Amino acid sequence: MEKFERIERKLIAKGTIVDYYHDIIRVPNGNVVTWDFIGNKGAAAVIPVMEDGKIIMVRQYRNAIERETLEIPAGGLDFPGEPTKDAAVRELEEETGYKSDNIEFLISIKTTVAFCNENIDIYVAKNLMPSKQNLDEDEFIHVESYDVEELCKMIYEGKIEDSKTVAAIMSYKNKYL
């Protein structure tokens, strides 16, 4: 295995969701290079499955791509080390207005391994019970529901491109259907 050595990590900018760094790295041939690194405290997501098998999705505007997306509910950890199941439970209720007493781990993904350490643990929630949506002041979310085949069709048509959602829906279909 080739050896890479991080010599230094310089904080360039601290954000509300991510921190941007320059990593100074010695690569296997001895050269010293600068690589971008985005630090993220992690996130959790959840596939809420209704009694009829439909999946609850959230539609919201995403500034980075300047349009609305259709996604599974998700959100960042409130603090480093927060149990991701706790975050998934919180995001389920906040974004969809449902609670669940049946939440099971599905998969863990690294979203952008080339320059970011973001990890998202994805759960499946069943036995949904109506509660109250509790959005942040900057969140404008519309709740919709679809069957898995509709969601897969939207994935293949390029209508759903969010990586956590694609991974979650395909993994759920493979494991449960």
In degrees and rounded to multiples of 5, residue 116 shows phi and psi of -140, 145
Average pLDDT, the chain: 97
Both tokens of residue 177?
Answer: 């259907």
Domain coordinates in residue numbering, the chain: 5-39, 41-176
Above pLDDT 90, what percent of the chain? 95
Nearest Cα to Cα of residue 17 among 116, 106, 83: 116
Task: Pick the catalytic residue from 2, 51, 66, 137.
Answer: 137
- Angle at CA of residue 137, ends 67 and 166, nearest 5°: 40
- Angle at CA of residue 127, ends 124 and 131, nearest 5°: 100
For 73-84, the pLDDT digits (tens) are 999 999 989 999
Amino acid at 27: V
Q: Is the pLDDT of residue 85 over 90?
A: yes
Name the architecture of domain 41-176: Alpha-Beta Complex (3.90)
Note if 68 is an active site residue.
no
As a whole number, mean pLDDT of residues 134-151 equals: 94
Q: Is the pLDDT of residue 127 over 90?
A: yes
Categorize the per-residue pLDDT at 1 as very low, low, confident or very high, splitting at 50, 70 and 90. confident
As a whole number, mean pLDDT of residues 37-63 equals: 97
- Angle at CA of residue 107, ends 15 and 170, nearest 5°: 105
Q: Is the pLDDT of residue 136 over 90?
A: no
DSSP track, 105-135: EEEEEES-TTTB--EEEEEEEEEEEE-----
For 56-72, the pLDDT digits (tens) are 999 999 999 999 999 99
